[in-house]
Amino acid sequence: MNQELAGTSINEKAAEEFYRRGIDAEKESNNEKALDFFERALNENPDHEKAAFRLAVLYDRRAEDAKAIELYERICTSAPVHINALMNLAVLYEDNSHYDEAKRCLDAVLLTDPNHERARLYLKDVESARSMYYDEDGDFHGDRRDAMLNVPISDFELSVRSRNCLKKMNIRSLGDLLRTSEPELLSYKNFGETSLNEIKSLLAAKGLRLGQAAEEAKAPVRRAPVISGDIAPEIVNKSIADMELSVRARKALQRLNIVTVGELAARTEDELLGCKNFGQTSLHEIKQILATYNLTLRKLD
């Protein structure tokens, strides 16, 4: 028993040291190194909450939603209520169209802090996003389409080889598969023509094809940055990644292919609000940050 306690103590000390190194790496903007240190901290002590949270944030920023969600969920299952983790988890759930789960997270935040302004605003966004809408051709969008794209690969009848390859490639859902091209699949070790044909047949039976979602989701055109005589070039060219943004605002700017402060200032309020899950809260946040650089969003003449 004493040996076990001593071992636990050693592991906890090692985890804390790795966590500290991870924080230092983040301060130096070395996120890859930070991610490695946080992972090592959790290997030493799976219950290291702070390391789990920072690791989840880094995965979130890398758009590795599944990993981030798993970590946030782990944090949120233990007391006390972790408001920041619940808020980030709610955003991820909403991004992935799991609106009921997002609402559950926000309800938990408001149960603890009924006056949490951001949670109340996000809850309105979530409730609004749950409604369906149709385009002029009658094609369905919203919840029904998202539900189809979120069907897990495990629900399909696939060979063990195909299933294992997709799992290792982090292709978890039908939507993930539709965002993947034939060359990408074939470039993976042990993934051959037999597996490719099997998957193509499966999709064809549903009227779908590989790479379909990637083709449909055309990258937004990058807008020329705003250049003003009294704004220093280093500010105009400052990377969005270096700005202190919420997870939601950061993801929205990534979707709009906005890379620099100048490109952000070239956008209008309507353009930003037209992006999925970008609401008044995120708009206010963006406008405040631009104001610190004496910049504003573009106004139409």
Q: What one-character-per-residue DSSP string does 45-72 give?
A: -TT-HHHHHHHHHHHHHTT-HHHHHHHH
CB contact burial 151-166 (16+ within 10 A = b; e otherwise): eebeebebeeebeebb
DSSP β-bridge partners for residue 144 = none
Task: Classify 265 as helix, strand or coil.
Answer: helix
Q: Does 233-291 match 152-216 at the fold level?
A: yes
Could you tell me the fold of the domain covering 152-216? DNA polymerase; domain 1 (1.10.150)
| CA–CA distance, 69 with 72 (Å, rounded to integer) | 5
> What is the domain class of 1-78 according to CATH?
mainly alpha
| CA–CA distance, 253 with 297 (Å, rounded to integer) | 13
Task: Decide yes or no: CATH 1.20.1080.10 for domain 233-291.
Answer: no
pLDDT of residue 228: 52
Q: Token pair for residue 160?
A: 């063990």
Closest CA to 240 of 274, 263, 220, 270: 263
pLDDT of residue 214: 62
DSSP annotation of 80? S
Query: CA dihedral in degrees (288, 294, 297, 301; nearest 10)?
Result: 140
Q: Token pair for residue 55?
A: 């690791």
Tell me the CB-side half-sphere exposure of residue 37, using CA atoms within 13 A.
19
pLDDT of residue 297: 87
pLDDT of residue 25: 93
Per-residue pLDDT of the chain (301 residues; tens, 9 = 90+): 344 434 457 788 899 999 999 999 999 989 899 999 999 999 988 889 999 999 999 988 887 888 888 888 888 877 777 888 999 888 888 877 788 888 888 999 999 889 888 888 888 877 766 553 333 333 444 445 556 677 888 888 888 888 888 887 878 888 888 888 888 888 776 778 888 888 888 777 666 778 776 655 544 555 555 555 566 777 888 888 777 777 777 777 877 778 888 888 888 887 787 766 677 888 888 888 888 888 888 876 5
Q: What one-character-per-residue DSSP string does 118-182 give?
A: HHHHHHHHHHHHTS--B-TT--B-THHHHHHHT-BGGGS---HHHHHHHHHTT--BHHHHHT--H
Closest CA to 149 of 170, 181, 179: 179
Query: What is the number of H-type helices and E-type strands within the chain?
Result: 18, 0
Calculate ∠ Cα 242-245-251, nearest 5°: 100
pLDDT of residue 132: 37
pLDDT of residue 141: 45
| CA–CA distance, 169 with 180 (Å, rounded to integer) | 10
6 Cβ neighbours under 8 A, 6+ residues apart? none
The full set of domain ranges for the chain reads: 1-78, 152-216, 233-291
| CA–CA distance, 119 with 279 (Å, rounded to integer) | 12
Residue 20 CB-density burial (10 A; 0-12 exposed, 13-18 middle, 19+ buried): middle
Tell me the CB-side half-sphere exposure of residue 168, using CA atoms within 13 A.
13
